[in-house]
Every structure is written in structure tokens, then in C-alpha cells.
Amino acid sequence: MLLIKNGRIMDPATETEGVYDMLIDEGRVVRIGMSGTLDDMARESMSMRHDEDYTEIDAGGCIVAPGLVDGHVHFRDPGFTYKEDIESGARAAAKGGFTSVIMMGNTDPHMDNVDTIRDVLDRGSKTGINVYTCGNITMNMEGKELTPMQKLTEAGAVLFTDDGKPIMDADIMEKACIKASELDRVISLHEEDPSFITDNGINAGEVAGELGLTGSPREAEISMVKRDIEIARKTGATIVVQHISAAESVELIRQARREWVKVFAEATPHHFTLTQEAVRTHGTLAKMNPPLRLESDRMAIIEGLKDGTIDIIATDHAPHSKEEKEKSFREAPSGITGLETSLALGIRELVKPGYLTMMELLSVMSAKPAALYGLDAGTIREGSVADLIIFNPDEEWVFDKSLSKATNTPFLGERLPGKIFFTVCRGKIVYKAD
């Protein structure tokens, strides 16, 4: 049993806010009451069950919010566990306030078969947080043959994606959308046409030129977003544009949503925080697909979050080894870690400047992704699963060490706002600050 007292509960699913006590038992929220009103109830329950564990947390001065939900993480497991594994990824997630994550399928073997999906879900269930997985759209992520999508859904896949690779064959994409709609699943898309790209991971522009690179032009993303909006319009499918990076892509989605096309988009913390200028300072630590672009693109993403065009923040947590990231810019892999800094960057870059309220930030980091992917998460109410985070948005902390296996992030060493004190999943404390 867990009693959380004096916390400022913020539930973005109902837009409820107030200072309350909360009693949690058997993994669910039993009662929410005014401060000081639940002590007797807790004592009475304890007296009836003498062997029951009991913990009390005074959350005075802190926000108590739903556990964060990340619909896009790479735990590199199976196949590349020198970068990350399910256990280390889950620890990093809990430290960052995430109680639910969805793993991507560019693993070895891929998430294109029932056995692999069942294996990762079984191991994920032992981590303390809710670990979900995608199913791949095509076999071996080759873009040629659809996976057995119904069987993967029955095995537990909560969305479909070939993340890291776009679906270049429009006929395959259309068939995938039709099948996903039948299965009530979302198609999540990496939108970069490789025919436009000479050097990936860096915006085609001034900074790339300084490094002797051509880079990735914005048209690589825009062209794919435009095509797939039309396929979603035709099929009625629900699609998600992953890690959106270009202002034009944001506007395409804005217009499509006005026409009731079911297209959603992810914003990553690095895309609403950094621009291509970060490559000058951080080198390969600022290399990712799609790349960091211009200040005008960064502000377009923020405006998209502000007006509801962009529904979710996802980290695209992409760990790599130190040795890999120390290669030349052209040879180093793309991607940065993000689970432990996502909330902090949202507070610093979106809430403190006044672009989003705290409730709006929590919504795009919990309630909205949970609703989109059909997860039992994203709310705090009586009877709900007790997944939550306790944090002080104004207290600063230094990101000086990571619980991930990897540290490929430009934010390591920074002082950030939003200290997380506790992460609770299914009523159990899975992270507690030092």
C-alpha cells in the first residue's frame, strides 16, 4: 500500500488539478481525497492486513502526474545489446518518469515474427515498467512483403512500423494501411526518401557544407509525408509521422487534420530544442535521422505542439556505443538517447517560455500517446492503474550520469529543471532519486 500526501495532482486526461492525497493498493488508485483525509483509511486497511507493506510519501511542493508514455524507443534487444538492452532501457525510462514505452523493431531478429515479440514482451514484463513492442510492417524490414500483421497483433504488437526505413513501395504502404485499419492498429512511419539523401544525419545546408558533406534535404521528408497523407486519406488508416523535422511537414499535417485525415505526428525533444548549429558544438552527438534543421523548423514544431497539430512527444531514444559515435561524421550512426532528459527539456523549452502549460506538456507526454496507441495509461483517477511520476518542475538537477548503457547525448552534464523524485508503476516504486 502506498499513500501519497499533499501532492499537486495533475491529470491531463480530465484536466483535473488540485492538492490532494492519494491511496494506492494492489496496483490501482483506491481513493483520492483532500489533504489529510486518507490517513484513517490507510491505517484501517493496514490493521486488517498486518503483513501488508506500507509506504508514505510526502509530495508537498511537487506535481503528481500520470507516468509518461513514450511511443518510440530503441532498446536494441535482441541483437545489439552492447548498445542497450530491455533491462537497462527500462531503468533509464523509469529515471526519466516513463512507465510505458513502445520498442521499435530494427533488432536482430526483427519484430516480424511471433516468437520474437513474445520473447521481448515476456522479458519486458519483468522490468518493473510497462514494456510494449511494435510489429514490423514488412518482413526483415525490406519493404517487399507484409508481415503476418494479424498474428503479430495477437502476439501483442501495439503498432506497426519499419522505423529507420521508409516504406518506399506505395502499393505495399496502401495494403499495410488497409490491414492495420482492420486490426485497429496505427502505422508509424519514418519519412525520409533515401533517393534525396547523400549524407544522412545532417541537414543539407551551411553546416554540412563546412564538413564537406551534402546532407539530407528537407524534401526527403516532405515528399514522403505528402504521399502518405494521401494514402491515409484514401484508406482511412491512422498514421503517425515519426520525429517530424521540417516546417513544411508540420503544415501538411495541419491542413490534413482540418480535412479529418487521421494523421498524427511525433515531436522529439532534440528537434524542438536544437538546430543544425548543434553539430558545430557536439559533432556526431548531434547526428540523427531526420537531422536537426533550422531555427524556423524548430519554431514550426513548437507551434505545431502549441496548436495541437502535433499530438505527442516521443524521445526516439537511440543508444549507440562510445566507439561508434567517435567515428567520422559520415561513418558514425545516427541517433541520441533521450529518456532521462525528455521531461526536463519539455519544461525548459516549452513550459518556461510559455508555449505550453504544464498540463498541456503532460498531455502530449502521457494522455495523448496512451489514447492513440490504446494503452491503459495516461490518467490518474480512482480505479485507474497506479502509474505516476512525482517531480518538482522548478528544482534543478545535473544530468551527470545515465542509467542507460549509452551516453550519446549532447545534454550530458547540463543543469536541467524538473527533478524527478519518484516513478511509480502499478503501485510499486520503480525509481527513487538519490
Which H, E and C letters describe the chain, residue by residue?
CEEEEEEEEEECCCCEEEEEEEEEECCEEEEEEECCCCHHHHHHHHHHCCCCCCEEEECCCCEEEECEEEEEECCCCCCCCCCCCHHHHHHHHHHCCEEEEEECCCCCCCCCCHHHHHHHHHHHCCCCCEEEECECCEHHHCCCCECCHHHHHHHCCCEEECCCCCCCCHHHHHHHHHHHHHCCCEEEECCCCHHHCCCCCCECCHHHHHCCCCCECCHHHHHHHHHHHHHHHHHCCCEEECCCCCHHHHHHHHHHHHCCCCEEEEECHHHHHCCCCHHHHHHHHHCCCCCCCCHHHHHHHHHHHHHCCCCEECCCECCCCHHHHCCCCCCCCCCCCCCCCHHHHHHHHHHCCCCCCHHHHHHHHHHHHHHHHCCCCCCCCCCCECCEEEEEEEEEEECCCCCCCCCCCCCCCCEEEEEEEEEEECCEEEEECC
Nine-digit cell string for 77? 534487444
Cβ atoms of 411 and 317 within 8 Å: the answer is no
What is the distance between the alpha carbons of residues 354 and 361, in angstroms, rounded to a whole number? 11
Q: Which of 316, 387, 400, 434 is catalytic?
A: 316
Among this protein's residues, is 316 annotated catalytic?
Answer: yes
CA 289 to chain centre: 16
Active site amino acids: 316
